[in-house]
Chains A and B, each alone.
Chain A
Amino acid sequence: MMHEHAFTRRLFIQRGCALASLAATVPYFIEQSALGMLGDPALSSQPGVPDERILVVIQLGGGNDGLNTVVPFGDDEYYRARPQIGIRGPGAAAQNGQPAALALDGARGVGLHPNLAALKELYDQGLVSVVQGVGYPNPNRSHFTSMDIWQTGRLDAKGSGWLGRYFDNTCGGTPKPEAAIAIGRNAPLALEGDVQKPVAFESPSLFRWIGQDLHPSLKEPYDRINRAGAAASPTGASEPDSQKSFLMRTALDAQLSSDRIRAAAAKDPLVPYPQHPLANQLKMIGAMIRDGMPTRVYYASMGGFDTHGSQLGTHGNLMKQFAESVQAFQRDLKEQRNDARVTTMVFSEFGRRVKQNASGGTDHGTAAPMFLIGAGVKPGVFGNHPSLVDLDQGDLKYGIDFRCVYASVLEDWMKAPSEKILRARFANPHLFAAKA
């Protein structure tokens, strides 16, 4: 009986995918919500998978200095390579104006940058997994290419984004509006699927038609034109699959998305957020999660990590902004009681050279730590810190391929087939708690 039920339901849903491209009157996502494809865990497209799990990606652009983020204070080589910019171990007196690193329970010889105190609090609450030495073979030191490698999940940096492929593999053929939202002017390649396309906006107030600002009388006719859907179309849309009906349906979707997103973001957050660009992005994401948007992946980013010169102050500020923003976001989620639904993944396109350069900064490097944050993660420090002596052209050798981390996120958190999405089998390091 159960099996039969499941079978019919899946057929029903598959049919829903097909019908969505033909039906002429209903915007895609309403139709899908009605079919239970979004939001309702009991009617997931994969039995037993709660649809409402959310992944938030934070991209640190420019190449974050991993060695000064998770500090290998137990290794003297670190201080030989970085006489001016090395951070002392926990308990040591301030050096170069920098306080000492923060000790991590259960980790030997490594600690967090002193300005990551807010992140350490989350760590102490068992909400952080630090994955050490993440990279890939034949590392590319170009920002663009290495970022594309991370975003495509392919060493040739070509093709669609890895999260775009995640969506492409969940309901083939029918994109879901609002399934993936990036805060920023540009949608990241990571979210671009062959079918699924992300929504991107800098701020919700810009996710609207600006023509209405020219003259108030324009708003009403605009709304009627763009909310008509294909049904009320005047001419030419008698065929439901015509180019014009497609555009009218998308126009209606855009208006509804705009309404939802702006309404969500207009609400005050439940907790105060600091005044940083990343905090603002996470605040918007928090608001959208709280409002029950059907979005599965949110993408935030923070730049400025390309610290070639005098990096101590710059990098310290970035660390502080990052940690405080993430902490506020985590508090917000907890206050909303959505903390169990959300995992945040933090990455950068590469780490930096082991040796400091002559300008008190560091040049492009290779492997670096990643963070997974949330109630679902297996807390602690995962993997060994890469050797500071056994180097490849002055750079760290990676210990964990980033696609293995993706595999864990996909399989253990998103409950998706990682091999299909990553197009190869990557050993799953199981970075999530078994109950997750």
Chain B
Amino acid sequence: MSNVFQPIAKKDFDYAAAQHLLNRAGFGGTPAQVRALVELGLDDAVDYLVDFKGERVSNDGFAFKNDILRAQTPQEQELLRRARIEKDTETIARLERERQDRQNNDRAQIAAMKRWWLARMIESGRPLQEKLTLFWHGHFATGYRTIENSWHMLMQNGLFRSNCAGNFADLARGIISDPAMLKYLDNDENRKSSPNENLARELLELFTMGEGNGYSERDIKEGARALTGRTFKVNDYFFDKQVHDAGGKQILGRSGNFSGEDFISIILEQHACSRFVAYKLYRFFVSDAPTITRDGVETIERTAKALRDARYELRPVLRALFRSQHFYAKENRLSIVKSPTQLMVQTVRSLGTPVRSIDRLVDSGDYMGQELFQPPSVKGWPGGRSWINTSTLFMRQNTAVFLISGRSVRGPAPDPTKDGGKPEPFDAMHLVDHLRDSTGALDARECVRSVASFALGGDPGAARLAELDAYLESVGGAGGGNSAIKSTIKSTINPTINNERLQALLCLIAAMPEFQLC
């Protein structure tokens, strides 16, 4: 039997394969960018993405404050204490108002962070870095509303970004030192005298080994003891030795006076951990179809082995996965349901539409079920088909219409650069420029075929093309024309293509069910 984890033949890295790679290891790209990847060839194209060779994103200078939710100063505490004794309701109310102002400012800041990150995903020349950051955010899920500290969410985001393709061990060790996570899973209350098992349980169940994969309730209890004392002060990790349980523990068959770091090391030795991480990578990057095929199972096993061989270094594993036969197999083309973020970012990055309004895109993401910095639970976003229901499907179709045309259910987005309330223009013709003949003319039907297979990431099929042709014929040639004549001789009239029609066609293509797949 052939090994589906082996790389594909270099010659098989064609346009469709390159587009598949760019969609999965990033958020898609324009036809020109796809062609550039084809020219690089398989190995260099994969390296380009995995080694983050593109340009850094330009909006790094975004300023966020780390002290909005500072604790009360000793002076304020004293003021409050005396106000309470003296029943000085005015001072108490003022301090309460100030506290609420700080909380409101922090909520405004997390809203700004959502815009910042989404813009970053749209702009970054290192798309895999942002995509992996999103992957780890969903893996080590932490929600702002539980911790209510935007700076801590940003620090966690930084932890994911700096280690996203580094070593999984660093991520796992980082997360048990991360204020946002320590707060989210109550480890700031995990003390020797009253252990809190929340972090230990989720660490095993959701972050490393997976439920039912070889650990026991006892391992959770003992692991929780190893994690006691790991808390934070203001914005920094703090090890509170006083409340750490330094006694002997038995975890996963090993005995010793284990610390939190030791707990992680013991977990990493388990094959179940490499398998679970491989499985999560597979679901995110290769396929989220309900059933995993035999080749899929084999790929997960081999990815797990590659992780162990590389001592959890992620880059070599990603490199192998993105070159593998299974990754490019027919069964895995268009086998992932785009996340709301993928849908928006890929539409902008591949069709080259204006961003229009980052605010509205953030809102759309929320309504479609993916609020950044707010996964629905510690399990992260379940992904796959759970993204899709009758209401999110309309939102998805309408978000695409908004990006392409500027029209939205809330009225057109005004052009930020001009007055007059008209949407920012979008020149879609760049998608077909390479089809111009020597005189610069375009064949409308050829354009339809090219744009449809590009936007859908594959052959749309005859029935779909017939619908697109039907639209073009209904709007006719350059001057519109008499519909009676058109109906009799429509096959001989060649409809013309222009920017407005191309946009309309794109809206229709984006409303095809298969547009939701990548």
A interface residue numbers (CB < 8 A to B): 142, 144-145, 148, 157-160, 175, 177-178, 185-187, 189, 192, 194, 197-201, 206-211, 213-215, 217-218, 220-222, 224-226, 228, 232-236, 241-244, 246-248, 250-251, 253-254, 257-258, 308, 357-359, 363
- Tell me if B422 counts as interface (CB < 8 A to partner A): no
Alpha-carbon distance between A197 and B512 when the two chains are bound, in angstroms: 22
Known: A177-B390, A213-B407, A243-B517. A218 touches B508 (CB 8 A): yes
By a CB distance below 8 angstroms, the chain B residues around A157 are: 146
By a CB distance below 8 angstroms, the chain A residues around B475 are: 215, 217
Asked whether, in the complex, the Cβ of A251 is within 8 Å of the Cβ of B507, the reply is no
Q: Enumerate B293-338 residues with CB–CB distance to A below 8 Å.
A: 334-337
Asked whether, in the complex, the Cβ of A247 is within 8 Å of the Cβ of B96, the reply is no
CB distance from A312 to the nearest CB of B (A): 17
Q: Enumerate B11-26 residues with CB–CB distance to A below 8 Å.
A: none
- Tell me if B93 counts as interface (CB < 8 A to partner A): yes
Task: For the A-B complex with A197-B386, A199-B391 known, give 12 more contacts whose Cβ atoms are closer than 8 Å.
Answer: A144-B145, A148-B145, A185-B363, A218-B504, A225-B467, A233-B463, A235-B463, A244-B517, A251-B393, A251-B513, A258-B394, A357-B93
By a CB distance below 8 angstroms, the chain B residues around A177 are: 389-390
- Tell me if B408 counts as interface (CB < 8 A to partner A): yes
Closest chain A residue, CB of each to CB of B402: A210
- Tell me if B148 counts as interface (CB < 8 A to partner A): yes
CB distance from A62 to the nearest CB of B (A): 13
- Tell me if B516 counts as interface (CB < 8 A to partner A): yes
Alpha-carbon distance between A254 and B137 when the two chains are bound, in angstroms: 30
By a CB distance below 8 angstroms, the chain B residues around A217 are: 471, 474-475, 504
Asked whether, in the complex, the Cβ of B511 is within 8 Å of the Cβ of A254, the reply is no
- Tell me if B419 counts as interface (CB < 8 A to partner A): no
Asked whether, in the complex, the Cβ of A244 is within 8 Å of the Cβ of B514, the reply is yes
- Tell me if B398 counts as interface (CB < 8 A to partner A): yes
By a CB distance below 8 angstroms, the chain A residues around B479 are: none
Asked whether, in the complex, the Cβ of B461 is within 8 Å of the Cβ of A247, the reply is no
Alpha-carbon distance between A194 and B148 when the two chains are bound, in angstroms: 25
A-contact 0/1 string along B385-411, CB 8 Å cutoff: 110111111100110010001011100
- Tell me if B376 counts as interface (CB < 8 A to partner A): yes
By a CB distance below 8 angstroms, the chain A residues around B397 are: 209, 211
Asked whether, in the complex, the Cβ of A221 is within 8 Å of the Cβ of B390, the reply is no
Query: Which residue of the partner chain, among A189, A242, A251, contacts B289 with CB atoms under 8 Å?
Result: A242
Alpha-carbon distance between A318 and B94 when the two chains are bound, in angstroms: 26
Closest chain B residue, CB of each to CB of A207: B394
Closest chain A residue, CB of each to CB of B89: A358
CB distance from A272 to the nearest CB of B (A): 28
By a CB distance below 8 angstroms, the chain A residues around B175 are: none
Alpha-carbon distance between A178 and B393 when the two chains are bound, in angstroms: 14
- Tell me if B76 counts as interface (CB < 8 A to partner A): no
Query: Which residue of the partner chain, among B96, B334, B398, contacts A244 with CB atoms under 8 Å?
Result: B334
CB distance from A373 to the nearest CB of B (A): 27
By a CB distance below 8 angstroms, the chain B residues around A198 are: 389, 391
Alpha-carbon distance between A213 and B507 when the two chains are bound, in angstroms: 11
Can you spell out 12 A-B residue pairs with CB atoms less than 8 angstroms apart?
A: A148-B145, A160-B377, A185-B363, A189-B376, A209-B397, A211-B510, A214-B401, A215-B475, A217-B504, A234-B464, A241-B291, A247-B388
Alpha-carbon distance between A376 and B457 when the two chains are bound, in angstroms: 55
Alpha-carbon distance between A242 and B514 when the two chains are bound, in angstroms: 11
Known: A157-B146, A244-B513. A250 touches B467 (CB 8 A): no
Query: Which residue of the partner chain, among B336, B376, B388, B468, contacts A192 with CB atoms under 8 Å?
Result: B376
Alpha-carbon distance between A79 and B97 when the two chains are bound, in angstroms: 24
Number of interface residues of B (CB under 8 A): 64
By a CB distance below 8 angstroms, the chain A residues around B517 are: 243-244, 247
CB distance from B289 to the nearest CB of A (A): 6
Asked whether, in the complex, the Cβ of A144 is within 8 Å of the Cβ of B148, the reply is yes
Query: Which residue of the partner chain, among A158, A197, A243, contacts B335 with CB atoms under 8 Å?
Result: A243
- Tell me if B253 counts as interface (CB < 8 A to partner A): no
Query: Which residue of the partner chain, among B90, B391, B460, contacts A187 with CB atoms under 8 Å?
Result: B391
Known: A250-B388, A250-B389. A214 touches B407 (CB 8 A): yes
Asked whether, in the complex, the Cβ of B511 is within 8 Å of the Cβ of A209, the reply is yes
CB distance from A143 to the nearest CB of B (A): 9
The CB with the most chain A CB atoms within 10 A, among B93, B386, B475, is that of: B93
By a CB distance below 8 angstroms, the chain B residues around A244 are: 334, 513-514, 517
By a CB distance below 8 angstroms, the chain A residues around B510 are: 211
Closest chain A residue, CB of each to CB of B405: A214
By a CB distance below 8 angstroms, the chain B residues around A228 are: 463
Asked whether, in the complex, the Cβ of A357 is within 8 Å of the Cβ of B89, the reply is yes
Alpha-carbon distance between A169 and B123 when the two chains are bound, in angstroms: 44
Alpha-carbon distance between A322 and B83 when the two chains are bound, in angstroms: 38
Asked whether, in the complex, the Cβ of B470 is within 8 Å of the Cβ of A209, the reply is no
Asked whether, in the complex, the Cβ of B504 is within 8 Å of the Cβ of A215, the reply is yes
Alpha-carbon distance between A363 and B99 when the two chains are bound, in angstroms: 12
Asked whether, in the complex, the Cβ of B461 is within 8 Å of the Cβ of A236, the reply is yes
Asked whether, in the complex, the Cβ of A254 is within 8 Å of the Cβ of B146, the reply is no
Alpha-carbon distance between A101 and B318 when the two chains are bound, in angstroms: 69
The CB with the most chain B CB atoms within 10 A, among A158, A175, A178, A228, is that of: A158
By a CB distance below 8 angstroms, the chain A residues around B93 are: 357-359
A-contact 0/1 string along B57-75, CB 8 Å cutoff: 0000000000000000000
Closest chain B residue, CB of each to CB of A217: B474
Asked whether, in the complex, the Cβ of A175 is within 8 Å of the Cβ of B389, the reply is yes
CB distance from B35 to the nearest CB of A (A): 25
Known: A186-B367, A218-B507. A145 touches B390 (CB 8 A): no
Closest chain B residue, CB of each to CB of A213: B407
Alpha-carbon distance between A142 and B103 when the two chains are bound, in angstroms: 10
- Tell me if B269 counts as interface (CB < 8 A to partner A): no
Known: A210-B407, A211-B511, A218-B471. A257 touches B390 (CB 8 A): yes
By a CB distance below 8 angstroms, the chain B residues around A197 are: 386, 389, 391-392
Closest chain B residue, CB of each to CB of A182: B391
The CB with the most chain A CB atoms within 10 A, among B382, B390, B517, is that of: B390
Closest chain A residue, CB of each to CB of B148: A142
Alpha-carbon distance between A158 and B100 when the two chains are bound, in angstroms: 24
Alpha-carbon distance between A59 and B297 when the two chains are bound, in angstroms: 46
Closest chain A residue, CB of each to CB of B467: A221
- Tell me if B290 counts as interface (CB < 8 A to partner A): yes
Q: Enumerate B82-119 residues with CB–CB distance to A below 8 Å.
A: 89-90, 92-94, 96-97, 100
By a CB distance below 8 angstroms, the chain B residues around A220 are: 470, 474
Alpha-carbon distance between A197 and B401 when the two chains are bound, in angstroms: 24
Asked whether, in the complex, the Cβ of B393 is within 8 Å of the Cβ of A254, the reply is yes
CB distance from B62 to the nearest CB of A (A): 24
Q: Enumerate B170-217 residues with CB–CB distance to A below 8 Å.
A: none
Alpha-carbon distance between A282 and B469 when the two chains are bound, in angstroms: 44
By a CB distance below 8 angstroms, the chain A residues around B394 are: 207-209, 254, 258
By a CB distance below 8 angstroms, the chain A residues around B334 are: 236, 243-244
Alpha-carbon distance between A225 and B470 when the two chains are bound, in angstroms: 12
Query: Which residue of the partner chain, among A206, A207, A235, A243, contacts B337 with CB atoms under 8 Å?
Result: A243
CB distance from B199 to the nearest CB of A (A): 13
By a CB distance below 8 angstroms, the chain A residues around B289 are: 242-243
Alpha-carbon distance between A194 and B377 when the two chains are bound, in angstroms: 11
Alpha-carbon distance between A199 and B461 when the two chains are bound, in angstroms: 31
- Tell me if B378 counts as interface (CB < 8 A to partner A): yes
Asked whether, in the complex, the Cβ of B513 is within 8 Å of the Cβ of A145, the reply is no
A-contact 0/1 string along B472-504, CB 8 Å cutoff: 001100000000000000000000000000011
By a CB distance below 8 angstroms, the chain B residues around A243 are: 289, 334-337, 385, 517
By a CB distance below 8 angstroms, the chain B residues around A251 are: 393, 513
- Tell me if B462 counts as interface (CB < 8 A to partner A): yes
A-contact 0/1 string along B423-465, CB 8 Å cutoff: 0000000000000000000000000000000000001111110
By a CB distance below 8 angstroms, the chain A residues around B464 are: 225, 234
CB distance from B337 to the nearest CB of A (A): 6
By a CB distance below 8 angstroms, the chain A residues around B92 are: 358
- Tell me if B366 counts as interface (CB < 8 A to partner A): yes
Alpha-carbon distance between A213 and B386 when the two chains are bound, in angstroms: 29
CB distance from B36 to the nearest CB of A (A): 28
Asked whether, in the complex, the Cβ of A206 is within 8 Å of the Cβ of B145, the reply is no
Known: A145-B145, A221-B508, A359-B93. A210 touches B388 (CB 8 A): no
